[in-house]
C-alpha cells in the first residue's frame, strides 16, 4: 500500500506527453533548454486489493452491538471496559448501534483490522472516538445503505497524543458506499500519522482545525467528500521526508470550505481527474493584504468591504446628497479662511471613498496630523533626511514644507515599476490548492474561490488537461519557479494577477482571464531591485488561445519574452503607467497572432529582431480591421474598453506586401511593409527604443500626425 518515488502514475489510463520543463536550480536560476519528454508524476500510489473491500462474512466476523455505554460482543479479538471498546487482533469487526464512549485499536499481530460501521454512532466524551494506536493497517468501511457518525470530545486529557475524531498512528483506509459523518470538535476530523486512503465512499467532515489530514500520502479516489474546516481542508503533513507529504486525487466529487488553505501538500499535489470545488478564506471577496489582514484598498474591490461590515455613522440630518462643489470643480486647495487648525475630534486617517491603493501608517503614527504652524500651512515641505523619510517627523519640524520648484506639478513624479512577485507573504494561509514543491493538474474539473492564491506552488506548477474555474483575491496560478501550461481550459473570472512565475511557458490550452493588475507576469521571486533593470525571468508562448482583460499590464515580463505561436488577445489598461505588453528585457514575436490593445501613454513594442511583422496602430477606441491588397480581412479587434493603441502581428503579414487599416470602416492608412515594426496613425515618440505616446484618428481635413 506504500507509494514509490519517481514512478509513472499507474492509475492514469492515458500516457500524457509534452515538453517537460527546463531543469534548473532556483538558487541561481540556471535555465536549460527544453527537451521533449513524458509528463510524469514524481510519486506513485498503489492501493492493495483489500483496500476496496466493503463486505464481510457474518460467520467469521466479530459482531458488536452498542447500546449507550454498553457493548455486546460475539466473537474473539475485542473487549469492552468502562465505555472503551478495544480491538486487539487482526480481523473483521461489524459495529452497530450507539456508543457513548470510544473505540481503540491496539493490535500487535501482523494483519489488517477491518472495522465495518453498520448504522453505528460513536461519540466520545474524552478524546478521539476511534483511536488506532497500533496496527499494520486499519480499514474503516461505511457499509452500503447505512448512515454512520463519529464525534470526538471538545477537550482531551493532557496525556492523550491523539488530535482527531478518527486518529491513526498507522496506515488508514476509509471506504464503503454508505455514509460517514465525522465531527472533529477538538482539532482535526480524520488524521493519519502514516498513509491515508479514501476510496469509493461518502464522507462528510466538519472540524475546528484541519478536516482530513494524512502524513506520508493522502489519496482520494471515487468518493463524494464534503469538508468544512476552520483550518486546512485536506492536507499531507510530512515535512521530514523529501519523498513524503503528497496528495493525489484521481476521481470523485470533493467540496472543500476552509478558513485556511483548501488543499495543501508539503511536497507534491496532483489532480488527474474528478470534480473539485474549493472555497478558501471566505472566497475572493476577502482579499488578504500582503502586510497582513484584510486589504480594503488593494485588489479590484470586487465583492470587498473596506469597512469590514461596519459602515461609518452618518449625521442625523444627512439626506444622501453630496455637498456642493465650488464652481469649476475642486482644485485641492485649502479654503481661504483655513487657519491651519484641525477639528477637535482629530483626523481619522481614512481615505475618501473611491480612492485606490492602501495606506499603511508608519510606526509611531496614530492617525493624528501634526500641529500646523501659526498662521496656517504655507505649502512648504521639510527638508528630507539624508537616508530618506521613514515616516517619523524630525524633532525640529516646525510644520513648514520646503518650497517646490517653479512650475512643478505632481504629474512630473515618475512611479517606479514593481518588479517583485505579488506573493510576498508566507503568513497568508487562504490559498485554494498549495504545495511546498510542485503541483500537477493533469485532468478533472477544479473550481476555486479563494482569498489568497487559487493555485500556489513553491516550486513548479504544471497543467496538461482539465478545466479550471477561478476567482481569487490574489494570483490565479502562481509558481515560484516554473509554470507550464500544455493544455486544458482555464477560466479566471477574478484575480489580482493571472499567471505568475519565474519561468512561464504556454504551449497549448485555452486561457481566458480578467485581472485587476497584470494578466501574465514573469518575474524573479527573489529579486530585490525595484528598478526597470531586467531580471533573468522568462516568458515563452508557443501555442494556445489566450485572452487577457486587465487593468494593469496585459503581459509583463521583468526579463525576456517570446511569442512564437498561438493566439494572444489583450484588452489592456485604459490609462496610467501600464501597457498591453511590458518587458524589461528582450521581447520578440516570431509567430502566431497577437492583438494587444491598451493605453498609449506607456507603449512598449516588440523588438525589431522579431521574425514576424508588426503593426503599431493609434486608435480612438473604434473597431480595427486590417485588410490585405485583395481586400481580405486578416485581423479584427474591438473592445468594450477605451483604448488608444493596438499592437497587431500575424503570420498573414508579409514583408513587401500592402495592407489597409480601417477604424469603424474609415481608412486610417494604407502601408507597404518594409520594416519589422510599422506605425499607423501613431506619432512614434521614442523612449528606450519603444514608442511612448499614442496617436489619435485625424479629424476631417487633417493629415496624419
- pLDDT tens-place string over residues 342-377: 444 444 444 344 333 333 334 443 444 445 455 444
Stretch 387-397: mean pLDDT? 49
The DSSP call for residue 231 is S
Higher per-residue pLDDT: 59 or 532: 59
DSSP β-bridge partners for residue 195: 217
Residue with cell 524633532: 395
Domain boundaries, given as residue ranges, for the chain: 51-245, 538-691
22-31 contacts, C-beta under 8 A, 24 or more apart: 22/482, 22/503, 24/481, 24/482, 24/503, 26/459, 26/480, 26/481, 26/502, 26/526, 29/502, 29/524, 29/526, 29/536, 31/503, 31/536, 31/538
What does the alpha-carbon distance between residue 348 and residue 368 come to, in Å, rounded to a whole number? Answer: 7
Confidence of residue 158 (pLDDT cuts 50, 70, 90): confident
What sign does the CA torsion over 184, 454, 512, 548 have?
positive
Query: 268-271 and 246-249 as β-strands: parallel, antiparallel, unpaired?
Result: parallel
The confidence score (pLDDT) of residue 52 equals: 98
The CA–CA distances, whole Å, from 133 to 28, 47, 391 equal: 46, 22, 57
Say if CB 419 and CB 558 are below 8 A apart. Answer: yes
Cβ neighbours of residue 242 under 8 Å, at least 6 residues apart?
267
Higher per-residue pLDDT: 567 or 531: 567
Confidence of residue 396 (pLDDT cuts 50, 70, 90): low
Candidate from 268-282, 436-450, 676-690 with smallest mean pLDDT: 676-690
User: Longest Cα pair distance anywhere in the chain, in angstroms?
Assistant: 102
pLDDT at 66 over 80: yes
How do residues 267-312 score in pLDDT, each as one tens digit? Answer: 999 999 999 999 999 999 887 554 444 443 333 333 333 333 344 4
Q: Which of 17-26, 157-166, 519-528 reaches the highest mean pLDDT?
A: 157-166
CATH architecture of 538-691: Sandwich (2.60)
The confidence score (pLDDT) of residue 403 equals: 52
Share of the chain above pLDDT 90, in %: 66
* Chain centre to alpha carbon of residue 145: 39
Stretch 479-484: mean pLDDT? 98
Q: What is the pTM of this model?
A: 0.77
Say if CB 444 and CB 254 are below 8 A apart. Answer: no
Expressed in angstroms, the distance from the first to the final Cα of the chain is 74
Say if CB 556 and CB 532 are below 8 A apart. Answer: no
The DSSP call for residue 309 is T
The angle formed by the CA atoms of residues 584, 589 and 590, to the nearest 5 degrees, is: 135
- φ/ψ of 236, rounded to 5, equals -120, 125
3-state SS class at 175: strand
The angle formed by the CA atoms of residues 623, 628 and 631, to the nearest 5 degrees, is: 80
Interior/surface letters 96-127, b for 16+ CB within 10 angstroms, e for the rest: bbebebbbbbebeeeebbbbbbbbbbbbbeeb
Higher per-residue pLDDT: 144 or 380: 144
Say if CB 491 and CB 512 are below 8 A apart. Answer: yes
The CA–CA distances, whole Å, from 520 to 538, 559, 678 equal: 11, 13, 25
Say if CB 399 and CB 478 are below 8 A apart. Answer: no
E strand or H helix that includes residue 256: strand 252-258
The confidence score (pLDDT) of residue 575 equals: 85
Confidence of residue 435 (pLDDT cuts 50, 70, 90): very high
Cell numbers found for residue 517:
493588475
The CA–CA distances, whole Å, from 140 to 94, 115, 146, 595 equal: 10, 5, 13, 57
What does the alpha-carbon distance between residue 188 and residue 167 come to, in Å, rounded to a whole number? Answer: 9
Higher per-residue pLDDT: 399 or 147: 147
Query: 645-649 and 593-598 as β-strands: parallel, antiparallel, unpaired?
Result: antiparallel
The CA–CA distances, whole Å, from 460 to 42, 45, 502, 556 equal: 12, 21, 10, 19
- φ/ψ of 579, rounded to 5, equals -145, 165
The confidence score (pLDDT) of residue 527 equals: 72
The confidence score (pLDDT) of residue 427 equals: 52
E strand or H helix that includes residue 105: strand 102-106
The CA–CA distances, whole Å, from 297 to 293, 306, 308, 414, 430 equal: 12, 7, 12, 21, 19
Query: 658-663 and 666-672 as β-strands: parallel, antiparallel, unpaired?
Result: antiparallel
What does the alpha-carbon distance between residue 527 and residue 544 come to, in Å, rounded to a whole number? Answer: 29
Amino acid at each position: 500500500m506504500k507509494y514509490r518515488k519517481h514512478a509513472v502514475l499507474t492509475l492514469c489510463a492515458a500516457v500524457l506527453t509534452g515538453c517537460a520543463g527546463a531543469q534548473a536550480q532556483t538558487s541561481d536560476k540556471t535555465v536549460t533548454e527544453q527537451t521533449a519528454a513524458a509528463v510524469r508524476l514524481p510519486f506513485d500510489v498503489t492501493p492493495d486489493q483489500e483496500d476496496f473491500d466493503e463486505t464481510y462474512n457474518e460467520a467469521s466476523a466479530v459482531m458488536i452491538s452498542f447500546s449507550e455505554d454498553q457493548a455486546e460482543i460475539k466473537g474473539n479479538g475485542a473487549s469492552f471496559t468502562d465505555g472503551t471498546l478495544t480491538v486487539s487482533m487482526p480481523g473483521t469487526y461489524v459495529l452497530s448501534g450507539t456508543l457513548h464512549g470510544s473505540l481503540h485499536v491496539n493490535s500487535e499481530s501482523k494483519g489488517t483490522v477491518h472495522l465495518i460501521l453498520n448504522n453505528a454512532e460513536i461519540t466520545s466524551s474524552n478524546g478521539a472516538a476511534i483511536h488506532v494506536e497500533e496496527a499494520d493497517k486499519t480499514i474503516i468501511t461505511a457499509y452500503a445503505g447505512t448512515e454512520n457518525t463519529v464525534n470526538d470530545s471538545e477537550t482531551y486529557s493532557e496525556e492523550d497524543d491523539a488530535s482527531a475524531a478518527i486518529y491513526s498512528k498507522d496506515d488508514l483506509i476509509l471506504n464503503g458506499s454508505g455514509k460517514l459523518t465525522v465531527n472533529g470538535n477538538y482539532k482535526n476530523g480524520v488524521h493519519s500519522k502514516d498513509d491515508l486512503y479514501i476510496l469509493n465512499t461518502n464522507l462528510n467532515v466538519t472540524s475546528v482545525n484541519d478536516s482530513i489530514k494524512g502524513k506520508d500520502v493522502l489519496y482520494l479516489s471515487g468518493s463524494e467528500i464534503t469538508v468544512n474546516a476552520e483550518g486546512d481542508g485536506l492536507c499531507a503533513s510530512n515535512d521530514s521526508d523529501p519523498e513524503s507529504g503528497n496528495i493525489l486525487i484521481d476521481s470523485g466529487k470533493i467540496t472543500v470550505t476552509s478558513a485556511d488553505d483548501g488543499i495543501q501538500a508539503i511536497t507534491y499535489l496532483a489532480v488527474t481527474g474528478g470534480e473539485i470545488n474549493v472555497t478558501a478564506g471566505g472566497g475572493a471577496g476577502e482579499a488578504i493584504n500582503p502586510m497582513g489582514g484584510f486589504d480594503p484598498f488593494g485588489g479590484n474591490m470586487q465583492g470587498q468591504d473596506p469597512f469590514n461590515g461596519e459602515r461609518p455613522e452618518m449625521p442625523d440630518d444627512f439626506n444622501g446628497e453630496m455637498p456642493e462643489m465650488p464652481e469649476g470643480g475642486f482644485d485641492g486647495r485649502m479654503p481661504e479662511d483655513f487657519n491651519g487648525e484641525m477639528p477637535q475630534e482629530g483626523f481619522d486617517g481614512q481615505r475618501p471613498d473611491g480612492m485606490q491603493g492602501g495606506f499603511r501608517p508608519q510606526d509611531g503614527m496614530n492617525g493624528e496630523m501634526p500641529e500646523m504652524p501659526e498662521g496656517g500651512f504655507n505649502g512648504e515641505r521639510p527638508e528630507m533626511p539624508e537616508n530618506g523619510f521613514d515616516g517619523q517627523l524630525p524633532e525640529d519640524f516646525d510644520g513648514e514644507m520646503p518650497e517646490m520648484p517653479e512650475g512643478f506639478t505632481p504629474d512630473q513624479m515618475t512611479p517606479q515599476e514593481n518588479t517583485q512577485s505579488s506573493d510576498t507573504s508566507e503568513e497568508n494561509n487562504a490559498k485554494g490548492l498549495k504545495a511546498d514543491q510542485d503541483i500537477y493538474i493533469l485532468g478533472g474539473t477544479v473550481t476555486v474561490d479563494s482569498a489568497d492564491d487559487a493555485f500556489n506552488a513553491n516550486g513548479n506548477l504544471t497543467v496538461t488537461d482539465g478545466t479550471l474555474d477561478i476567482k481569487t483575491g490574489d494570483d490565479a496560478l502562481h509558481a515560484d519557479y516554473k509554470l507550464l501550461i500544455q493544455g486544458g481550459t482555464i477560466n479566471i473570472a477574478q484575480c489580482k494577477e493571472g499567471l505568475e512565475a519565474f519561468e512561464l511557458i504556454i504551449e497549448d490550452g485555452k486561457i481566458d482571464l480578467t485581472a485587476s493588475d497584470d494578466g501574465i507576469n514573469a518575474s524573479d521571486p527573489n529579486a530585490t531591485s525595484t528598478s526597470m533593470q531586467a531580471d533573468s525571468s522568462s516568458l515563452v508562448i508557443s501555442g494556445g488561445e489566450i485572452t487577457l482583460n486587465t487593468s494593469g499590464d496585459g503581459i509583463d515580463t521583468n526579463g525576456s519574452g517570446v511569442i512564437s505561436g498561438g493566439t494572444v488577445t489583450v484588452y489592456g489598461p485604459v490609462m496610467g503607467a501600464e501597457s498591453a505588453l511590458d518587458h524589461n528585457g528582450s521581447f520578440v514575436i516570431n509567430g502566431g497572432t497577437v492583438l494587444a490593445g491598451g493605453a498609449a501613454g506607456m507603449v512598449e513594442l516588440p523588438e525589431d529582431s522579431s521574425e514576424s511583422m508588426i503593426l503599431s496602430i493609434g486608435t480612438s477606441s473604434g473597431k480595427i480591421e486590417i485588410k490585405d491588397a485583395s481586400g481580405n480581412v486578416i485581423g479584427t479587434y474591438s473592445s468594450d474598453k477605451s483604448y488608444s493603441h493596438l499592437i497587431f502581428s500575424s503570420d498573414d503579414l508579409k514583408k513587401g506586401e500592402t495592407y489597409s487599416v480601417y477604424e469603424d470602416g474609415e481608412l486610417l492608412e494604407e502601408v507597404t511593409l518594409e520594416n519589422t515594426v510599422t506605425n499607423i496613425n501613431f506619432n512614434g515618440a521614442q523612449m528606450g527604443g519603444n514608442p511612448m505616446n499614442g496617436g489619435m484618428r485625424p479629424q476631417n481635413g487633417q493629415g496624419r500626425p
